[in-house]
Amino acid sequence: MLVLVFFICSIPAFHVASAAKRTVFAITMCKNVVDGRIIGEETHSFLYTDETAFLYFKVEFSERETVQAKSVWYEPSGKIYNTGWWTTTEAAAGDTWTFWARLSIRGRTAAERRGYWRVEVFFGDELLFTEKFTIGPFYTVEVFAQNLPAEYSVPMTIDGESWGPIRGGERKPLGFAPGTTHSISVGAEVLVRTGTRYYASDNSRIVSSEGSIIFKYDLQYRLEAKTDPLGVTKISGEGWYAPGSTVTVGDAPKIVEVSLMTRWVLVEWIVDGVATPQKPSSFTMDSPHQVVTRYKKQHYLTVSSQYGDPRGEGWYDEGATAEFSVTSPAGFLIQQVLVSWTGDVSTTSPKEQIVMNGPKTVTAQWRTDYTQLYVAVVVAVGISVGLVVVIIHRRRREAAAPAISPVPSTPTAPSPLAQDVGIPAPESPQALAKKFCMTCGEELSSTAGYCTKCGAKQES
C-alpha cells in the first residue's frame, strides 16, 4: 500500500483501467483516511472550512508491473493546481494495493477556489480515471453555448482568467463564493471555414447569484470586398451577414491617383473567381462571396524637347516598354540637330525605348547646324555670278553687231470719202509706229538697233 500526501484538488469521474494488467476499483473521495481505511462518509462535496479532501481507490494487478503512478489536480478554471507522485515500486501478479492522496483545503489557496474541481490519476502515461468534486459553499451558474454545433468549442474566461473551453451544446456549471460578483465571457467567434462562422454578438455577462447564462451563436457568411493588389482603395459592403441577406457592394473609382506621375487604373471586377467588366448589383448571402477589383499601375513618361516634334509622352502600364522619338535634324537652312537624350536615359538615337518601372522623364538636347544655310548661300552666289556673266556676254555681242536703218514707208493720199464727210485723215505709219525693247521693254526710237537700257540687239 502506497500513500501520496500533497496539496491538490479534484472533480466528478470516469474510470479507465488496462484489463490486461490491472483492475481499478473502489474509486471514491472522503474527508479522512487512516491506515488505508476511510473514516466517515464518502463524499465529493467539500467546504472551504474542511481540513482535507482525500482521493481513494484500489488496484488489483494481474501481472508483475513496475508502478509509476501520479495524480494531477485541476482547479475550477481548468488550470493544474498541483501534481503528486507515488513512490515507484514493483507489484507482483495477484497483488491488491490501496492508494490515497489528499488535498489540504482550510487556510490554503484551494479554499478560495470555490466550485468544480477534478483529479486525474495516471500509471505511467496511461490515464486510469478522472474524479470530480466540489469545494463550497458556492452558488452555481450554468453556462450554455446555444446554436453552436457540438464539434466546436469556444474559450471561456472568468474575471479575465482562462477557465478552459466550453463546447457547443454543453451546459457547464460554475461555482462562486456567496456574495461575490464575476464577469463571464466566451469567445465571440468560431470560424468554421473561410467566409463562414458562428458569432455571438453578446458574449459577456455579469453574475452575482445562482442562475444560468445562454450565449447564443448565429451562423454568418462573409462578403469579402477587396482590391488586387491589396489596399488600392476601400470598397464598401464588406462584412458578415446572416443567411439570406441582400447586400450591395460600393463603387470602385476607375482611377486612383498615387502621385502626379503614378496612378492605379481599374481593369475588371472578379466575382467569386469569375472576371466581369461591371460591378455586380447585389448579393444574396446564401454562402460566402468575394468581390475583387483588379487594378493595374501606370507611370507617366515625360518627353521634353524644344524641337523635332517630340512623341511618346503619356501613361504606360508598369513594366511596359515605352517608345519615344524626335525628328532630327529639324528646321530649314538653319537646323537643330539632336545631340543626346538626358534624364532617365542616355543615348544619341532620335528614336529610343525605356522600361516603365516608375515615372520617367527624358529631355532632348540640341545643337544648331548651319550646313544647309552655307550650301544655299554658295548656290545663290554661283547662280548670281552666272547671270552676270551671261548678261555681259550678250551686251558685248550686241555692241559688235552693225546698225540697220529702217526703210521709210510711202505716204498715202487722203481718202476722198474722208474729206467729204469731214473725218480727219490718218497719220502716216511713221508717225504712229512705236518701238520697245524685246528684252527689258524700254521704249526705243523706231530706228534703234540696240536697247539704250539693257544693250540687247533689236530685230527689225
- The answer to whether position 392 is within a domain reads no
Q: Looking at residue 150, which CATH number applies to its domain? A: 2.60.40
| More confident position, 430 or 401 | 401
Phi, then psi, of 80 in degrees rounded to 5: -70, 125
Residue 58, C-beta contacts closer than 8 angstroms, at least 6 positions apart: 24, 25, 26, 96, 97, 98, 99
- Are residues 211 and 233 both part of a single domain? no
Grid cell digits, residue 258: 498615387
207 and 232 part of one domain: no
Range of the domain at 24: 2-136
- Which helix (H) or strand (E) is 92 found in, with range? none
Residues 84 and 191 in one domain: no
Tell me: do 146 and 119 sit in the same domain: no
Regarding whether 131 and 55 lie in a shared domain, the answer is yes
Q: Is the pTM of this model over 0.85?
A: no
- Would 380 be classed as within a structural domain? no
Would you state the pLDDT for residue 129? 96
Q: Are 183 and 112 within one domain?
A: no
Is 421 inside a domain boundary?
no
Q: Among 150-159, 267-276, 278-287, 368-377, which stretch is predicted with the lowest mean pLDDT?
A: 368-377
Q: Coil, helix or strand for 410?
A: coil
Residue 112 lies in a domain: yes
25 and 81 share one domain: yes
Q: Which residue has the higher pLDDT, 65 or 451?
A: 65
How many angstroms separate the CA atoms of 368 and 183, rounded?
A: 87
Q: How many domains does the chain have?
A: 5
**Residue 157: all three cell numbers together:** 474566461
CA distance 217 to 169: 11
Looking at the predicted structure, is the pLDDT value of residue 437 above 90? no
pLDDT of residue 81: 96
The answer as to whether 181 is a domain residue is: yes
pLDDT at 424 exceeding the cut of 70: no
Average pLDDT over residues 360-382: 84
Among 59-63, 262-266, 390-394, 410-414, the minimum mean pLDDT is found in 410-414
Residue 144 and residue 129 share a domain: no
268 assigned to some structural domain:
yes
Q: Is the domain of 460 the same as that of 362?
A: no
- Of the candidates 173, 251, 180, 167, the one whose C-alpha atom is nearest the C-alpha of residue 217 is 167
pLDDT confidence bin for 10, thresholds 50/70/90: very low
Are 131 and 170 contained in the same domain?
A: no
DSSP line for 350-386: SEEEEE-SS-EEEEEEEEEE-HHHHHHHHHHHHHHHH
Q: How far is CA 29 from the centre of its chain?
A: 62
The pLDDT of residue 281 is above 90: no
Please identify which residue in the block is written with the cell numbers 511713221.
430
Does residue 68 form part of some domain?
yes
Q: Are residues 10 and 132 in the same domain?
A: yes
Q: Give the domain-ending residue among 369, 392, 410.
A: 369
**What is the tens place of the pLDDT at every residue in 97-136?**
999 999 999 999 999 999 999 999 999 999 999 999 999 9
Q: What single letter denotes the amino acid at residue 226?
A: K
Does some domain include residue 385?
no
Final residue in a domain of this structure, among 83, 116, 136: 136
**Using CA atoms, how far apart are residues 316 and 301, in angstroms rounded to an integer?**
7
In CATH, what number is assigned to the domain containing residue 123? 2.70.50.60
Grid cell listed for 215: 450565449
C-beta atoms surrounding 72 within 10 Å: 19
pLDDT for 28 equals 96
Helix (H) or strand (E) holding 457: none
320 and 207 in one domain? no
- Of 340, 369, 398, the residue at which a domain comes to its end is 369
C-alpha–C-alpha distance, residues 242 and 235, integer Å: 20
DSSP for 273-319, written as a single string: TEEESS--S-EE-SS-EEEEEEEEEEEEEEEE-SSS--B--EEEETT
pLDDT digits (tens, 9 = 90+) for 56-98: 999 999 999 999 999 999 999 899 999 999 998 899 999 999 9
